Structure 1
Amino acid sequence: MATGKVLETGLSVIYDPPNEAPIAEYSLFVVIRFTNWNGTEGVFWPQDLLRHDCDRARILTWGYDSHVTKGYESANKNNVFAHAKNLLANLKRDRPEGRPIIFVAHSLGGILVKEVLRRSNESTQDIVVDIVRSTSAVVFLGTPHRGSSKAADIGQAFRQAASTLLRVDSNAAILRALGADSPELELGRESFIVLWRKYKFSVKTFQESKPMAGVNVSILNELVVSKESSSLDDPEENAETIEADHRMMCKFYGAEDPSYIQVSGELKGFVNSILRKYQSRRREAEVDMLGHAGNCYAAPESSYSSIGILLVYIPQLIKAVEYYGDGVSTIDSMKVYENVFIDSQMLLMTSLDMFEKCCRRLVRNLPDTQVHRLIDFHKGWSDPQLQAQLHQQLGEDSAKFIVTIKQTKKRIELLQRKLKLRADFEESFNTWSRVGSEFNLHKYTEVIDQIHQGVQRICTFMPEEVDPIVIQGHQSFPRDLNYWLDIQTHTYRLFNAISSIWPRDCAYHTHHAKLRLNIPTEDREEQEAPKVNVSFAMDKRVSLTQHYPRGWRDVKVIFSQAPRVNIFKKEVRFSPTSITIDPLQAPNKCASERKIENICTMLEENHQIKCLGLLHSEGWHYHIHDPTNYARNLTPLGDILSSHNITTRQRRTLALTLASGVLQLYDTPWLRDNWTLYDIYIDSSQGVDYLYVLRMFDECSLQQHLPGRRPSALDCVRNRTLFALGVALLELTYGAPLSAQKTEEDLNDALTPHRIVWRLTKKIEHDELPQFARAVFKCIHPDAEGFEFSLANQGFRRRFFQEVVLPLKNDYDELPRIRC
């Protein structure tokens, strides 16, 4: 029942459903109000109207009007962010854990809600984290989320809304005390998008459509909060307008008010969604109980239904393992386990990819809409007609298939218990408890290996049309992970070796060298020595019209550890731990000990032998093999982008090659950190199958690549090399340089490129395949490894490989091969 009284400030319970309403324990409205919400007829709609339309939900309001207009001192003690802290404490104290929450907020109340969710997510107390985890929906009414063409930043948009609500003439002291200049404004805006994606709650935006005359908001007769400012700029927020100004958009005269019908319709939809999820969980629990009771008729249906359960559970396990990995990365004594968690996460991702492909093959003859429902929404697996079709399709293997599915499901549930996950596979632990005293890594990895083996066995029951190469490719590719994680060390040393023996005063050659970017392949033998492809320019000079050398000597550079020499002085040497190939055992071994003393001399000689000699650098030998002279016509990839239509196949090839190139060349003089497509070259005679980086080894060029001060405009970029890769992938997708994508909303200042990138990163989600779009997002917004965003950190490098290179390779592998 309602309390009958609404407090001016703080939390008020205005409606409690009767005990017999089953949903009463599963939904909660928290209505955030700044001013008196009484409408023109004295209607307080959360109490007078909403309780009748949503009678199975508990309704609370939080008032934060306080004494903000009575002076600077009181305002300073009760700004928006202080209220957020108080509301969080109230919800922690008065709300049962696990109860879904729907927030409704007008104007600055939306900023308060975003701050509550941010603080909840960052808390180390699980009961506080449960608030953001249980958030089901957020409804914004005229909330200023960001700046606009009229209000340069979010702080200015905040001031405009506050001036209107307070009915003051933008008093600077009061507005500053409210939090208008607080850095938490921008922090809340950025974190909300991340939390929205992470916890997958619903968001609805209502915008004002009428201006307010007589209010000191820049220019009279303008919207207090513009549509640009009140929008999160995301299609999932489903924004629409209310026929009212900023003050009246939250005040309704009755149930027939068109504006109330709009708002209440959305709220009823959210409550019904919560009810459907609750009923679905109850049905699933009943089915499981029937299965455990040994009902012979229900057993096969339950078993086939487990396919959909596995499609849900494996991604949840991946998220949980990532959660553990994030935890150990912040604890010095646990960092030794960090890479193991990353490897486990990758193995689960490989298992999921294999399992999804097998499931798609299993239902390949069904209509596309049904396949989409089964695979992407995990629904419909219990349909009796589908059960019969699957049983007939699998034939004699159906019983073995069912047993394997059951075993894999049991192992997943075992890992669920070991990770202490809740019944819905959500984490019930916080950052500190998840790596407690009983930590035993072996028991986790053992179960994950068993899950992967189970998925492999499941795939063996698929029809013969399943392409074994695709499945094996995903299994074998991680074998080469360490090779690709450590290849950069060799490209860096190779550059130093070439630079040290290419004389600066030589007038015979142009001193150009180019290195080919290679992509990860599965045809490399396990004990094969690492190698790269390099070319040295043969031209005596380059004409003004030619720009780049045409004559090149292509060679293969094969790496091998130099034989150890016994010396009296002890010396510490650092070398890649993962690439330790014995040169006498490697398939492409080279035992030559002839040292190259001068690159120019080597180029002048007409060698007919297989190995021209070796370069030595930091305990490693770099053998120059298989010299072949070619004429090359080099063109920057940026020119190709603007003058050619790039096909899907070419775009996928270029994307994977560029990402692999970053892995090979980051933090080396071969590739500057803020590189562009004009730093990458193709040979017009080879097409886009091979990409090159080009360097000139003279004193002037080498000085240009010395470390220097970074431009301040790029301080907001987490990793400049990955950001440049993300920009390159966006330019490949839309077939034009970033500057050509500029709109009026991007303004014209130092941050314009970043606005373009952010907008296109959102747009690509609808224009590209999900894993390609996700790879672009991870380039622009990579996750930290501990507190680092550096590829020099092995954990961060593994994340990049896992979240960018591997998805791009999957896209590349799925392309049909062209047969000659």
Structure 2
Amino acid sequence: MSGIEVAGLVLGAVPLLISALEHYGDGLSTLKRWRRYEHELRSLVRNLNTERVKLQNVCEKLLVGIVPESQIEAMIKNPLGDLWREEKTQKKIQSRLWEGYGLFEDTIADIKRAVDEMNERIESQSGKKASTLKRTMFTLSRNQYADLILVIREGVANLENLTDRNIELEPARKVRSQGKLFKILRTMSKGLYHALKSSLDCPCSHDISLKLEKRSNTTPMDDSDEVMSNLTFKLALSRLSTGVTEGLEEKEWEEILVKPNLSPIDNKHLLETKSLPIQSKGKPKKSVSFASSSNTSTITMTRTQSVSQSGVDIQGSIQTLSIGVASIGLYNLDAITNLCEKLKRAQKQVQVSTYGMVIDHSSEGTRKYTLHPIPTPNTEDTRCWSVISLKQILEQDTSMYLTYQDRLHLAVIISSSILQLHGSPWLSGAISSRDIFFIQKKDFPFFDQPFVMKSLPTKSLAMQRVCQDTPFPRNPVLVALGVLLIELIQGKTIDLLRTPQEESLAHTKLLQDYMTVKRLLQDVRMASANYAAAVTRCVDGEFHNGGLTLDNEELCEGVYSGIVALLERDLEYT
């Protein structure tokens, strides 16, 4: 039983205890005894109610920001309800209390024992189990319960202090925790790229798309293995299709869920792949095929066979799969040496829960990743998909589809992803709007699912272009992020926002972009002070001193707290 659940039990037990005390005084015969009882009762009830309210305040403080306000009210009104037992809430409270969580559980357990002991003493004197003589002679004295009241009072005071101090430290801990998470993500994403690259031992041309996500560390202890075990990555891998349409080069895409495999490698005794049931019916998912023309950057996708039941929600399918793959880490799966061929063979199988394992043997150490198919729902709107870049959206005047909340959501994901992927092959340099892509369904992009693409064999990508022809005293990666944030909030590319004067005054594109951003900051500040402050720190300020890169943990933490956290705050308020 969790600490917060025990706290709910205590909050529910104290009113019952008070009711019992009041009830047992009803049978007192003499006025003298009743007056003494009433005096002692008021004092005891006042003490119990005081500690109950203080404990309730502690619980409210712990729950603020963790559950909706309406749910807090519901929990307070029903302290014995199911809401106190929700695992998600318990984990968030554990994260908030950090290393003090064990003390919280021990202290609230002591308080509950004191409340139970008080109830037992009352029952033994005046309850149903008491003799007729004891009930007749029942009197109430504060001294009878002084020791228990002291335990409750000291326990609640300790909980108040523990809660207040941990909530004060929570923002700083979050920054440190995120910095460590980003460091782990950079290492894991780099290893994943090398593992995929080494497994694609074929002459084919492949595009690998990595979904960008906003991530947070909810692990209260500094356990890197536990953090890694909870990570997942979502990929889309393309290969040339066997069928070719005239004038078009068709591609097939496989959506893949990747999970780090922390089990020891046994090269001599690799076990056969273990099958896990996927909740689906019908024929196996074959692929999702894109057809791209050489003279356009928009790619048309046509869905083929599906693995899911008609009408099944894709998010539900992914969640079901994620639960199933948790146990895969216990096994050593087949090491994939030719992923392209593996995917082709998997199309012919009736049911596949995992493709196997890709391994990174880089100089930084051996890392393993298990690959699992992501089922595609069998619905009409998935028959024709396309991929479009953020730059195309902003240039084609379709930015009207990007609501203010969409823009803030993308700003948070992209700025967070730079900290997660910087220095890895996925994001080896500055990023621009031409490097962010979305899947379109019926000509409508899914703005909550941005991703970046890499080509194998490696091609020169836009994200690797950094203007270096003239020295510029700014971190080009952060300046590029500032430019992208301005494009998002304005709904246009930086080229469309630039004035002729800015083009004539600056001889490099980086300097032109810098001047345009500085000019537009005043307009942004009127819309959101947090957003404007984030952009300002991208192009100016202390983050550009000392020539540090985002590989530096201190700079990484500073960028998170000074840029990403401000954008997150704006998103929370929308």
Superposition TM-score, scaled by structure 2 size: 0.51
Q: How does 1:313-712 map to 2 (within 5 A)?
A: 453-454=163-164, 479=177, 481-503=179-201, 505-506=203-204, 510-520=205-215, 528-540=229-241, 551-561=252-262, 563=264, 589-606=329-346, 607=349, 608-617=351-360, 618-628=365-375, 632-642=385-395, 643-644=397-398, 645=400, 646-685=402-441, 687-698=446-457, 701=459, 711-712=468-469
* Cα offset, 1:710, TM superposition: 5.6
Note if 1:754 corresponds to 2:517.
no
Distance 1:778 1:556, change over 3 A: same
Give the 3-state SS of the residue equivalent to 2:369 in structure 1: strand
For the residues of structure 2 that align with 1:780 and 1:724, how far apart are their CA atoms? 8
1:741/1:651 CA distance change after superposition, 3 Å: same
1:757–1:537 Cα change, 3 Å: same
State the distance in 1 between where 2:264 and 2:497 align. Answer: 54
Structure-1 residue corresponding to 2:535:
776
Alignment match, 2:303: none
SS in 2 for 1:486: helix
Shift of 1:763: 3.8
Deviations 1:117-146 (A, max 9, x none): xxxxxxxxxxxxxxxxxxxxxxxxxxxxxx
Partner of 1:810: 569
What CA distance in whole angstroms lies between the structure 1 residues aligned with 2:254 and 2:325?
28
Secondary structure of 2:546's partner?
Answer: coil
What does the per-residue CA deviation read over 1:492-523, in whole Å, with 9 as the maximum and x for residues that have no partner?
111112122223523xxx41111000112578
Letter in 2 for 1:711: Q
CA RMSD of aligned residues (A): 4.2
Contact 2:343-2:355 within 8 A present in 1 as well: no
Of Structure 1 and Structure 2, which has the larger fraction of its residues in helix?
Answer: 2
Q: Distance in 1 between matches of 2:537 and 2:561?
A: 10
Q: Could you tell me which amino acid in structure 2 is paired with residue 726 of structure 1?
A: G
Deviations 1:292-340 (A, max 9, x none): xxxxxxxxxxxxxxxxxxxxxxxxxxxxxxxxxxxxxxxxxxxxxxxxx
Quick check: 2:428–2:463 contact (8 Å CA) kept in 1? Answer: no
Could you tell me which runs of 5 or more consecutive residues in structure 1 were left unpaired when the two chains were aligned: 1-349, 359-449, 459-470, 567-583, 816-820
Q: Distance in 2 between matches of 1:689 and 1:788?
A: 34
Structure 2 portions without partners, runs of 5+: 1-60, 70-159, 221-225, 268-323, 377-381
Provide the C-alpha distance between the structure 1 equivalents of 2:188 and 2:337, rounded to a whole number of angstroms.
19
Moved more, 475-484 or 676-685: 475-484
In the alignment, the residues of structure 2 paired with residue 660 and residue 457 of structure 1 have an alpha-carbon distance, to the nearest angstrom, of: 24
How far off is 1:692 after superposition? 1.0
Cα distance in structure 1, aligned partners of 2:529 and 2:340: 49
Aligned counterparts of 2:433 and 2:465: Cα–Cα separation in 1: 22
Tell whether the 8 Å contact from 1:529 to 1:560 is kept in structure 2 after alignment: no
C-alpha separation in 2, matches of 1:695 and 1:721: 18
Q: Deviations over 1:356-381 (max 9, x none)?
A: x99xxxxxxxxxxxxxxxxxxxxxxx
Alpha-carbon offset, residue 736 of structure 1? 0.9
* Equivalent pairs, count: 336
> Offset of 1:711 from its aligned partner?
2.0
Following the alignment from structure 1 to structure 2, what is the Cα–Cα distance between the partners of residues 546 and 735? 32
The alpha-carbon deviation at position 760 of structure 1 amounts to 2.1
Q: 2: CA distance between counterparts of 1:811 and 1:451? A: 31
Counterpart amino acid of residue 649 in structure 1: Q
Name the CA shift for 1:600/1:648 in 2 (closer, same or farther; >3 Å): same
| Higher RCO by CA contacts (8 Å cutoff, separation 6 or greater) | 2
Q: Which amino acid aligns with 1:666?
A: H
* Counterpart contact for 2:438–2:449, Cα < 8 Å: yes
- 1:706 and 1:633, CA in 2 relative to 1: closer, same or farther beyond 3 A? closer
- Residue type of the partner of 2:515? R
- For 1:175, the equivalent position in structure 2 comes to none
Match of 2:311 in 1: none
- C-alpha separation in 2, matches of 1:734 and 1:706: 21
- TM-score, normalised to structure 1, is 0.36
